[in-house]
Amino acid sequence: MKLKDLFDLKGKVAIVTGASSGLGTAFAEAMAEAGATVVCVARRKDRLIEVAEKIKKIGGKVLVIPTDVCKEGQVKRMVSETIKEFGKLDIIFNNAGITGKPVPVHKYTLKDWNDIITTNLTGVFLCAREAVRQMVKQKSGKIINTSSMFGQVGNALFPTPAYCASKGAISNLTREMAIEYAPFGINVNAIAPGFFRTELGGADAWDEAIKILAPTVPMHGVGVPDDLKGTAVYLASRASDYVTGHILVVDAGYTAR
């Protein structure tokens, strides 16, 4: 097989959650650019339609399914509609998530904790569970979860305890699922991004945060979502067929210090 063929996703069907903005939009575009049919998932239908239109302009095939990943029934419908439309599911990016405002543990409310854990961790569990049920039948599939470098280390600059806890749990859920489903030919890996400029924190918050964050990153400062496209295609393609249970940290050297 030629090198370029290892990264070719033609004929593949990929779900991307949290596709309405930030890293999710970049993952959806990357799948389409590599040839996959993309199912764009998020709560905001209007934003999903905008992303879908961009994908169509580059010749990609796309389906929009508004979904709240915290709701079990909606997640089941997301996967069943994908199977009904395309007959299979090859790839899923479990990317939907929230960060919350920086607050230390002693000031953290139970509601804020539960909101973030439910979205970031339970949402990944529900989506991964429904996807893997189909992939077991196919005896193939790629599951890519979005963790964070703060699933590996603490975040003293901007304390976000529930976010860090959820991302650490996602990393270990990734390892657990990788072992469970290796016999079925299913790869389960995670991307652990470092500092990337997205809409999660809001534009004003990011302008202030970047002044503090950029000097702490050994290489290139703060990243942009497109910096993760190559990583996304690698983990979704045949190029990573011998890789599972891996947390691929993309942080420009932050955790290497």
Task: Identify whether 163 is a catalytic site residue.
Answer: yes
Is residue 143 within a helix (H) or strand (E), and if so which, with residue range?
Answer: strand 141-146
Q: Which of these is catalytic: 108, 163, 181, 254? A: 163
Amino acid identity at 48: L
pTM score, whole prediction: 0.94
Provide the pLDDT for residue 190: 98
The DSSP output letter for 227 is G
228 touches 220 (CB < 8 A): no
Give the CA-trace dihedral at 37, 70, 191, 59, to 10 degrees: 20
* Alpha-carbon span 64 to 5, nearest angstrom: 28
Secondary structure of residue 79 in the 3-state scheme: helix
Pairing relationship of beta strands 13-17 and 62-66 according to DSSP bridges: unpaired
HSE-CB at 37 with a 13 A cutoff on CA atoms is: 14
* Alpha-carbon span 200 to 193, nearest angstrom: 14
Average confidence (pLDDT) per 10 residues, the chain, 257 residues: 94 97 96 98 95 96 97 98 98 94 93 97 98 98 97 88 97 98 98 83 60 84 92 98 98 92
Provide the pLDDT for residue 143: 98
Provide the pLDDT for residue 206: 59
Provide the pLDDT for residue 212: 81
Q: Which of 228, 79, 230 is nearest to 63 (CA)?
A: 79
Amino acid identity at 154: G
Domains of the chain and CATH, by start:
3-250 (3.40.50.720)
Question: CA 136 → CA 68, 88, 100, 175, 180, distances in Å?
Answer: 24, 11, 35, 17, 11
